[in-house]
């Protein structure tokens, strides 16, 4: 198909989706868009534990920003792998997926599957619309490649046409992949480096899908840059002397800190050295991710489908490294942990643009589904982001994000287990608007940061709020935690200014 023809078809689709988009909350499910002449493809690159401070080392992501839209107020529903990924797959908050941790009674793959979430992901919706769907890399904590889940073959969840997924792939070497129901072992040779393997498999998936003239969704979910921060061999000497950023929050406690944080002493010389080493390794480890993005986009061009493909880049959570006297970790409600990159390029997206609206990872599933002309059901808490990406005005957009976390998270078998030094907050819920962050802990403690004057969140002024203001914030947070439908969560997302 000629490129000009593809552009015409892509423009036709964009126009159709634009007419269908509405900014007022629906009472029920969003209507299914009319079928398009040619459905666009979607590539979603999801990285693990990548904070905003690593984007400067990712030229392919910067290129994506110049060609697409960056959402500057994008946050996750929980800065923890499995809850965040569950929200991404379903478009639902943790209180609706039931996944609040990486394992046990309230989290992990077993809970996600046991609650029927696998039957209502963006993959099942798009596959039903004729999409070829592929998943590469990291799925959910607790998933094991060889586990049959009671069947006769290694388990592949519903909705995925092709499946190349690891269990414990954090080391990048010596891991197993479930490759479409067959377990394949990869060793310790340079060619076995997991991020590079995912790159090769992603290019192959794109090439075959384009040759079959079949629309596709491909999620490439890397383990990088999660600890132990293992770079590819060719990147081991990169960024000599690089150190962790010394922001105003580095090695500082906020005023009136919550009790889980208050006891932390200043960082030691050894802790600072370790943070510097690990930050450098993180920057090194994302070089393979950057090449992966470049390789996938090159394959799109080679296959003649670049103009009809959305490319989406994001992270499942952020990562603090020295801020608030915490060594490396996540799970807090600070922006270091919950505010992460979301960059989208593709048909109709405004190049080099930024959107400051409050958006969350619950919005990815409905966006992917609407791109593919699939229905968005009443159970989905998120909203379609495509009109924002295409430059439309959104005067009635939500004004607050909801963050939900269960803690402390100290299970010995959890790759994300943290102690007081890393940061292990007790259970909390939080509101994050464009101006403030408000946190309620299960032990009754509160935090409130006015980020308009305190962007690094160093002055907790919760105790000084008026009774009226505290009540309004509490009621808004309670309503958000209690929402259970597309329209109810949209209404709850309009929080006090």
Q: Low-confidence residues of the chain, pLDDT below 50?
A: 1-29, 31-37
pTM of the shown model: 0.93
Task: Quote the strand ranges of 13-149, DSSP E.
Answer: 41-47, 69-71, 74-75, 132-138
Contact present, 220 and 136 (Cβ < 8 Å): yes
Active site residue 81: yes
Helix (H) or strand (E) holding 343: strand 342-345
Q: In b/e form, how buried is each residue of 401-426, taking b as 16+ CB within 10 angstroms?
A: bbbbbbbbbeeeebebebeebbbbbe
With the C-alpha atoms ordered 313, 318, 322, 328, is the resulting torsion angle positive or negative? negative
Q: What is the dihedral of CA 461, 466, 467, 471, to 10 degrees?
A: -70
Helix (H) or strand (E) holding 200: helix 194-211
Diameter of the chain measured on Cα atoms: 64
- pLDDT for the residue 14: 37
Q: What is the dihedral of CA 107, 111, 113, 115, to 10 degrees?
A: -120
Contact present, 210 and 306 (Cβ < 8 Å): no
Token couple for 98: 């039931």
Contact present, 407 and 321 (Cβ < 8 Å): no
- pLDDT for the residue 413: 82
- pLDDT for the residue 22: 35
- pLDDT for the residue 412: 77
φ/ψ of residue 378, rounded to 5 = -65, -20
């Amino acid at each position: 198909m000629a490129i000009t023809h593809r552009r015409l078809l892509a423009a036709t689709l964009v126009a159709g989706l634009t007419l269908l988009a509405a900014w007022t909350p629906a009472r029920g499910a969003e209507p299914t868009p009319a079928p398009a002449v040619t459905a666009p493809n979607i590539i979603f690159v999801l990285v693990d534990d990548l904070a905003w401070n690593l984007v400067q080392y990712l030229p392919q992501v910067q290129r994506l920003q110049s060609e697409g839209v960056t959402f500057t107020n994008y946050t996750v529903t929980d800065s923890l792998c499995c809850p965040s990924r569950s929200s991404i797959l379903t478009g639902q908050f943790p209180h609706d997926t039931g996944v609040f941790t990486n394992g046990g009674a309230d989290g992990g793959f077993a809970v996600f599957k046991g609650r029927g979430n696998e039957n209502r992901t963006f993959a099942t919706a798009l596959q039903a619309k004729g999409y070829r769907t592929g998943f590469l890399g990291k799925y959910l904590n607790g998933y094991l490649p060889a586990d049959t889940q009671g069947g006769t073959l290694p388990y592949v969840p519903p909705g995925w046409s092709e499946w190349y997924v690891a269990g414990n792939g954090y080391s990048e070497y010596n891991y197993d992949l479930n490759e479409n129901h067959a377990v394949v072992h990869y060793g310790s040779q340079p060619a076995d480096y997991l991020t590079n393997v995912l790159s090769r498999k992603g290019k192959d998936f794109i090439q075959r899908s384009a040759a079959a003239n079949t629309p596709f969704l491909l999620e490439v979910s890397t383990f990088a840059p999660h600890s132990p921060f293992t770079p590819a061999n060719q990147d081991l000497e990169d960024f000599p002397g690089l150190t962790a950023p010394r922001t105003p929050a580095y090695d500082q406690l906020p005023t009136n800190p919550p009790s889980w944080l208050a006891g932390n002493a200043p960082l030691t010389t050894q802790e600072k050295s370790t943070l510097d080493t690990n930050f450098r390794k993180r920057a090194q480890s994302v070089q393979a991710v950057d090449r992966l993005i470049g390789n996938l986009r090159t394959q799109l061009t080679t296959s003649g489908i670049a103009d009809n493909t959305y490319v989406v880049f994001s992270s499942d959570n952020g990562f603090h490294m020295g801020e608030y006297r915490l060594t490396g970790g996540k799970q807090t409600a600070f922006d270091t942990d919950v505010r992460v990159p979301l960059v989208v390029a593709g048909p109709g997206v405004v190049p080099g643009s930024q959107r400051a609206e409050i958006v969350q990872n619950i919005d990815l599933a409905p966006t992917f589904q609407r791109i593919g002309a699939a229905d968005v059901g009443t159970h989905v808490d998120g909203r379609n982001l495509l009109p924002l990406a295409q430059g439309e005005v959104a005067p009635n957009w939500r004004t607050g994000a909801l963050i939900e976390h269960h803690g402390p998270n100290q299970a010995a078998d959890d790759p994300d287990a943290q102690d007081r030094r890393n940061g292990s907050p007790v259970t909390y819920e939080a509101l994050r608007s464009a101006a403030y962050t408000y946190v309620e802990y299960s032990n009754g403690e509160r935090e409130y940061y006015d980020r308009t004057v305190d962007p690094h969140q160093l002055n907790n002024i919760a105790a000084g709020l008026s009774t009226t203001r505290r009540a309004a914030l509490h009621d808004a947070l309670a309503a958000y935690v209690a929402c259970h439908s597309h329209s109810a969560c949209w209404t709850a997302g309009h929080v006090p200014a």
